[in-house]
């Protein structure tokens, strides 16, 4: 029971320090929260990327082919 009480006091002290820091430096707090959100989003997107298939890798190495319109002479269009 004493350990739980000590842990609750530590959490309360930490929370009061966080609230005090937010009141003293609100723009810094917003910048830190934005940076953390960006980092979490970047990690989430990296994890969601699918590995490239062999077919997609081969297509990415091929030169681009002309479209259908550019194959016909201008007077035939």
pLDDT band at 47 (very low <50, low <70, confident <90, very high): confident
The 3-state DSSP class for residue 18 equals: helix
Answer whether 57's CB lies under 8 Å from 64's CB: no
Here the tokens at position 36 are 């953390």
Full-model pTM? 0.47
Per-domain residue ranges for the chain? 8-35
pLDDT digits (tens, 9 = 90+) for 20-31: 988 999 999 999
Tokens of 74: 């201008």
What does the block give as tokens for 28? 């810094």
Query: Residue 39: its pLDDT value, please?
Result: 95
Q: Among positive and negative, which fits the CA dihedral 34, 40, 44, 46?
A: positive
CA-closest candidate to residue 29, choices 40, 18, 39, 38:
18
* Position with higher pLDDT, 68 vs 8: 8
Query: In the chain, pLDDT over 70 holds for what percent of residues?
Result: 82
Mean predicted confidence (pLDDT) in 52-73: 73
């Amino acid at each position: 029971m004493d350990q739980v009480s000590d842990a609750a006091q530590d959490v309360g002290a930490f929370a009061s320090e966080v609230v005090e820091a937010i009141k003293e430096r609100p723009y810094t707090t917003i910048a830190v929260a934005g940076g953390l959100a960006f980092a979490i989003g970047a990690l989430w997107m990296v994890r969601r990327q699918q590995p490239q298939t062999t077919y997609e890798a081969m297509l990415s190495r091929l030169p681009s082919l002309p479209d259908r319109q550019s194959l016909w002479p201008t007077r035939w269009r």
